[in-house]
């Protein structure tokens, strides 16, 4: 076969498509997007789409049985006039403040306790026993706690009666129902925050404590001036996730009290569930859930803005 004439060869090279060379950086970028695609699709399907659907339902009447109907601003007006919602949010606020504060304080104290020098077997036993409630399903543990807190046959009231005190209506009193749910949540969740704080404590270099000892600092001064500033990023993370989780508490309160007596322990997650799947008011439930969404965004934003004053990074 004869080779093409020089003029034809040069013309072919002139009109040939010049593809850009794929550099190593571009290959890594493409590979990264390909690996992230399943996670991004899951985020889109199970997070972004439900959020958009919930926003659309705010302006609709939908009961799961008939086609949606346009409602305009009726759900928003109902939201503004619902005085019961104030009681629900007041209960939620008390539960959030109590559980967030106690979980973080107790979690930090437990982490400091198990981080001390002790035999390895005892250390593993303590850490495992404290963290064990986190591994067990919330509903099953709540059933056990409901049995323990029963007023007439509960183990807790039996122990209280042995020291001469009257039985406490833990689950049937409007005063104690929310407190009972709070106590249970602290017992269930403090171990998780203990692990987070323990990781922060173990990340502090020992040289700081040695320098503090040389300066004559006692245990409390070391904890205040060395430990607290250096674990402030860990504490910030723990507070943010515990605050968001506290607003979403549902199963333990539902199993213990079902929000009763009356609305004494009814929190916002239970209220949304009842409106959506018992009253079939999907539009109004979406409007209420959107208020929770806005509250969480605002609180998280305030936490990030306030963190500049007390969170210290090395």
Give the single-character DSSP code of 258: T
Helices (H), 259-313: 268-277, 282-310
CATH, residue 248: 1.10.3720.10
223-282 pLDDT, tens digit each: 888 888 899 999 999 999 999 999 999 988 998 988 888 899 999 999 999 999 998 999
> Residue 149 falls within a domain, yes or no?
yes
> Residue 154 falls within a domain, yes or no?
yes
Render 175-204 in DSSP notation, one character per residue. Answer: TTHHHHHHHHHHHHHHHHHHHHHHHHHHTS
Give the single-character DSSP code of 172: T
Report the domain count for the chain.
1
> Residue 26 falls within a domain, yes or no?
no
> Residue 34 falls within a domain, yes or no?
no
pLDDT value at residue 3: 54
User: Is residue 48 scored above 80 in pLDDT?
Assistant: yes
Contact partners, residue 283, CB within 8 Å, separation at least 6: 57, 58, 59, 60, 61, 62, 71, 74, 75
109-128 pLDDT, tens digit each: 999 989 888 888 888 898 88
Q: What is d(CA 121, CA 52) in angstroms, rounded to the nearest whole number? A: 51
Model confidence at 25, pLDDT cuts 50, 70, 90, reads confident
> Residue 61 falls within a domain, yes or no?
no
Q: What is d(CA 221, CA 207) in angstroms, rounded to the nearest whole number? A: 15
Percent over 70 (pLDDT), the chain: 93
Q: What is d(CA 216, CA 210) in angstroms, rounded to the nearest whole number? A: 10
How much is the pTM?
0.84
Q: What SS3 state is found at 41? A: helix
Domain that holds residue 166: 83-310
pLDDT value at residue 13: 52
Residue with tokens 């005085």: 83
Integer CA distances (angstroms), 76 to 56, 73, 120, 278, 304, in order = 12, 5, 58, 20, 29
> Residue 203 falls within a domain, yes or no?
yes
How high does pLDDT run on average in the chain? 87
> Residue 22 falls within a domain, yes or no?
no
> Residue 9 falls within a domain, yes or no?
no
User: Is residue 314 scored above 70 in pLDDT?
Assistant: no
Bridge partners (DSSP) of residue 69 are: 61
């Amino acid at each position: 076969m004869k080779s093409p004439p020089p003029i034809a060869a040069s013309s072919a090279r002139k009109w040939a498509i010049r593809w850009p060379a794929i550099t190593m950086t571009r290959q890594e970028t493409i590979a990264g997007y390909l690996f992230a695609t399943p996670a991004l699709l899951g985020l889109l399907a199970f997070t972004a789409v439900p959020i958009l659907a919930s926003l659309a339902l705010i302006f609709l009447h939908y009961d799961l049985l008939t086609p949606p109907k346009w409602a305009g601003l009726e759900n928003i007006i109902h939201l503004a006039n619902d005085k019961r919602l104030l009681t629900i949010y007041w209960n939620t606020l008390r539960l959030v403040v109590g559980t967030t504060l106690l979980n973080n304080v107790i979690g930090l104290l437990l982490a400091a306790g198990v981080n001390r020098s002790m035999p390895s077997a005892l250390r593993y036993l303590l850490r495992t026993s404290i963290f064990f409630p986190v591994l067990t399903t919330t509903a099953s543990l709540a059933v056990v706690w409901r049995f323990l807190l029963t007023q007439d046959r509960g183990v807790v009231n039996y122990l209280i009666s042995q020291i001469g005190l009257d039985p406490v209506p833990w689950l049937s009193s409007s005063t104690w129902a929310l407190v009972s749910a709070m106590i249970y949540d602290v017992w269930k969740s403090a171990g998780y925050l203990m692990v987070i704080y323990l990781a922060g404590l173990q990340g502090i270099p020992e040289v700081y404590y040695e320098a503090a000892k040389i300066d004559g600092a006692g245990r409390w001064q070391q904890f205040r001036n060395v430990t607290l500033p250096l674990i402030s990023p860990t504490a910030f993370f723990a507070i943010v996730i515990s605050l968001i989780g506290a607003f979403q508490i549902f199963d333990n309160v539902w199993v213990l009290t079902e929000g009763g007596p009356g609305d004494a322990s009814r929190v916002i997650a239970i209220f949304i569930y009842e409106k959506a799947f018992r009253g079939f008011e999907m539009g109004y439930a979406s409007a209420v859930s959107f208020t929770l969404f806005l509250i969480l965004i605002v609180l998280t934003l305030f936490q990030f803005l306030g963190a500049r004053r007390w969170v210290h990074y090395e």
